[in-house]
Amino acid sequence: MTVRALVISGSGINCEEETAAAFRLAGAEAEVVNLNALLAGQVELRRHQVVVFPGGFSFGDDLGAGKALANRVRYRRLPDGRLFFEELKGFLAEGGFLLGICNGFQVLVKTGLLPNVGGEFRQEVSLTRNTSGRFEDRWVHCTTGERAPTPFLAGIGVIALPVRHGEGRLVITDPAVRRAVVDRGLACLTYCHPDGTVATDYPALPNGSDLSCAGLTDPTGRVLGLMPHPEAHLSLYNHPDWPRLKRQQPGRGDEGEGLAVFRNIVRHIREAK
């Protein structure tokens, strides 16, 4: 079957082309669509199996990273009077998948799509300023641990990806939400050292996130948000240390580690059908 990915653009999003390229390399069709076209009812959301909010600086990060775009997604009405957010929830209820990367992760959190442990789509956690007090633009390691409860991250283990954010610190202030996230394994991607041990201090933990969390999923596993950029590691040669990696592993292919995220979801959707 043909897997179709809808990659949202506009309003300051700036990683849409790399994200679309990732899905194409993974064997899917990818359509880059401006959010205005979606809100005007010009594009049918449910023709696609996966919808992506890519990275970028939506609305210049005014009101906090992702907040202005989250408000637009949650409260804007379609021409027929229905809330776009209701259409997005219907897409998920019918088996669709939703991915948010960096600024897109911030949007998913601030709309209440993640982690949504209460099932009410209200904001339960936040992503705020890094404890370093600065924008972090460098490579880090992350791990899915023993089990990732989302098909996006199946079988990945430790992965090297770049981070590019000033507001990537996950904050969970509600003890009940924190317990649910921990008990259900929803903090599905964790900052770590190269050997896979969890990072608890800077610089391996780039932002000070609660639970050392680099990515969250919802209880269904259909929604994933992550701060690092998998679409920025599609080729081994994206990695700043690729010559050493090639020497250490002469038989290593040229594919970048981030492509696995996209291959996973495309494969899962095909197999599910």
29 included as an active-site residue = no
Parent domain of 44: 4-272
Q: Which of 231, 233, 257, 268 is catalytic?
A: 231
231 included as an active-site residue = yes
Structure tokens at 238: 């994206």
Number of domains in the chain: 1
Q: Which of 48, 141, 165, 229 is catalytic?
A: 229
Given a cut of 80, is residue 161 above it in pLDDT? Answer: yes
Q: Which of 18, 48, 102, 124 is catalytic?
A: 102
The widest CA-to-CA distance across the chain, in whole angstroms, is: 59
Q: What is the pLDDT of residues 143-153, one digit of tens each?
A: 997 778 999 99
229 included as an active-site residue = yes
Structure tokens at 179: 């317990």
DSSP string over the chain: ---EEEEEE-TTB--HHHHHHHHHHTT-EEEEEEHHHHHTT-S-GGG-SEEEE--B-GGGGTTSTTHHHHHHHHHPBPTTS-BHHHHHHHHHHTT-EEEEETHHHHHHHHHT-SS-TTSS-----EEE--TTSS-EEEEEEEE--S--SSGGGTT--EEEEEEEESS-EEE---HHHHHHHHHTT---EEEE-TTSPBP-STTTSSS--GGGEEEEE-TTS-EEEESS-GGG-SBGGGSTTHHHHHHH-TT--SB-TTHHHHHHHHHHHHHH-
pTM, 2 dp: 0.96
Average pLDDT, the chain: 96
Average pLDDT, integer, range 13-35: 97
Question: Residue 111: which of 75, 64, 57, 78 has the closest Cα?
Answer: 75
Average pLDDT, integer, range 68-74: 95
CATH code, domain carrying 87 = 3.40.50.880
Provide the pLDDT confidence category of residue 221 given band limits of 50, 70 and 90: very high
Provide the pLDDT confidence category of residue 250 given band limits of 50, 70 and 90: confident
Structure tokens at 85: 């957010």
Tokens 């994200």, residue?
19
